Amino acid sequence: MNMDKETFLISSGRDRRNGAPLNSPPMPASNFYLPSERVYSRNEQTETVNRLEELVGGIEGGDALMFGSGMAAAAAVLHRLPVGSTLALPTDPYHGVNGLAEEGEAQGRWKIWRIHPNDTDSWVNACATADLVWVETPANPLIDVTDLPTVCSAPRRGGTILAVDSTFATPMCQLPLNLGADIVMHSATKFLGGHSDLLAGALIVRDDNLRDELHHRRLLNGGVIGSLEAFLTLRGMRTLHLRMERALDNAEQLAHRLTTHPNVAKVRYPGLRDDPNNAIAATFMDGYGAVLSFETTDDGDQATRACEAVEIIHHATSLGGVETTMERRFVIPGQENIPPSLIRMSVGCENLDDLWADLDSALRS
């Protein structure tokens, strides 16, 4: 049936047979009585996982495979590459993906080609030459936006796979498969789950062969999502559109207010008119996401003090929960190349004025 994404999030991923519960309960099961189509949960998944895959696949416009974490999903994509491949990667991708890619390069599995998120010509070029093109947009932690419509529609050499880590955007802000990507990846730990209480990952594809290949990788690597996590992710996704609506609003307002703060040197949020990513993002994104970052005016001590002083906002890593979180990224191993005073903030669903009062006083502490 044709319906809006908001309706789909609530109505799909359910077993509508008479007498079935509205919500597929978590099914803690590894094996099933034979003969049966369902034999072992690492192969055929539990019912709970199937329902979640229906929902995630439907909202992104493809077939979904759910994993135990975003990294398990990313690893399945990278590890299908034959030895000797070339991998086009953003200059600063998510640090776990970066670690995995660098390890593979050190082992001689593939060569990495680094491209800045805004360097559209090089991404287009990579589509014609690399084996895997891995785009992350909006990107960690400077919130750069890659021109997805141009990159996704660029001619690809036979066999080139274009994957988009769409974690920061969620399906509410962009649908990369509709633009022409081969794979959409999510850390469902973040906005899809939405409550900072689980680890999960997703890959969504349209091509049947690619789906089977990634399913096979999941089977051999043992990366399938657990049943309880699948249940919680499904439950979280019922309100994805409502959470995003509030979080996007809060993020935009906080970004604006931060630009006027005496102790803030620079704010990065694609929704700000003078942000270098605003023009590109406006061409294809439906909202600019709920993650922003900013730099304090000193070399980092003030940022640390602010992170320690917040009382409503949570000083914690990760993102995408109903709770607003913030942290310095510079202190994370492997992230020393980003500005030392940079704070990344994942904006949640609290009252805007409460958030601002907390942030303002923390920045003055």
Q: Which stretch binds ligand PLP (CB under 6 A): 32-40, 68-76, 169-177, 346-354?
A: 68-76
Q: Which stretch binds ligand PLP (CB under 6 A): 23-31, 89-97, 266-274, 354-362?
A: 89-97
Rounded to the nearest 5°, which phi and psi values hold at 185? -120, 140
Please give the full DSSP string across 100-169, using - where no structure is assigned. Answer: HHHHHHHTTSEEEEEE-TT-HHHHHHHHHH-SEEEEESSPTTT-----HHHHHHS---TT-EEEEE-TTT
| Residue reference for tokens 């992170």 | 307
Q: Which stretch binds ligand PLP (CB under 6 A): 4-12, 15-23, 161-169, 294-302?
A: 161-169
Q: Which long-range contacts (CB under 8 A, 24 or more apart) does 273-277 make?
A: 276/118, 276/144, 277/118, 277/138, 277/143, 277/144, 277/145
Question: Considering the rule CB under 6 A, would residue 69 count as an interface residue with ligand PLP?
Answer: yes
Question: Considering the rule CB under 6 A, would residue 94 count as an interface residue with ligand PLP?
Answer: yes
Strands of 161-165's sheet, edge to edge?
63-67, 201-205, 183-187, 161-165, 132-136, 85-90, 110-115
Question: Considering the rule CB under 6 A, would residue 293 count as an interface residue with ligand PLP?
Answer: no
Please give the full DSSP string across 281-328, using - where no structure is assigned. Answer: HHHH-SS--SEEEEEESSSSHHHHHHHHH-SSSEE-S---SSS-EEEE
* Binder of ligand PLP out of 201, 223, 339, 348 (CB under 6 A): 201
Give min distance, CB of 170 to ligand PLP, in A. 11
Q: Which stretch binds ligand PLP (CB under 6 A): 5-13, 56-64, 91-99, 245-253?
A: 91-99
* Binder of ligand PLP out of 71, 126, 202, 347 (CB under 6 A): 71
For ligand PLP, give the closer residue by CB, 170 or 296.
170
* Binder of ligand PLP out of 55, 87, 154, 199 (CB under 6 A): 199
| Residue reference for tokens 């409550």 | 195
Question: Considering the rule CB under 6 A, would residue 104 count as an interface residue with ligand PLP?
Answer: no
Nearest to 254 by CA among 328, 322, 324: 324
For ligand PLP, give the closer residue by CB, 244 or 363.
244
For ligand PLP, give the closer residue by CB, 154 or 203.
203
Question: Considering the rule CB under 6 A, would residue 141 count as an interface residue with ligand PLP?
Answer: no
Q: Which stretch binds ligand PLP (CB under 6 A): 92-100, 143-151, 239-247, 258-266?
A: 92-100
Q: Which stretch binds ligand PLP (CB under 6 A): 103-111, 182-190, 253-261, 336-344?
A: 182-190
For ligand PLP, give the closer residue by CB, 13 or 289.
289
For the chain, the maximum distance between any two Cα atoms, rounded to a whole number of angstroms, is 69
* Binder of ligand PLP out of 60, 136, 252, 275 (CB under 6 A): 136
Measured distance CA(223)–CA(73) in Å, rounded: 8
Give min distance, CB of 186 to ligand PLP, in A. 8
Helix (H, G, I), strand (E, B) or coil at 64: strand
Rounded to the nearest 5°, which phi and psi values hold at 69? -165, 170
Give min distance, CB of 78 to ligand PLP, in A. 12
* Binder of ligand PLP out of 41, 140, 233, 304 (CB under 6 A): 140
* Binder of ligand PLP out of 26, 57, 58, 70 (CB under 6 A): 70
Tell me how far CA of residue 252 lies from CA of 30, 245, 272, in angstroms: 45, 11, 8
Q: Which residues bind ligand PLP (CB under 6 A)?
A: 69-71, 94, 96-97, 136, 140, 165, 167-168, 187, 189-190, 199, 201
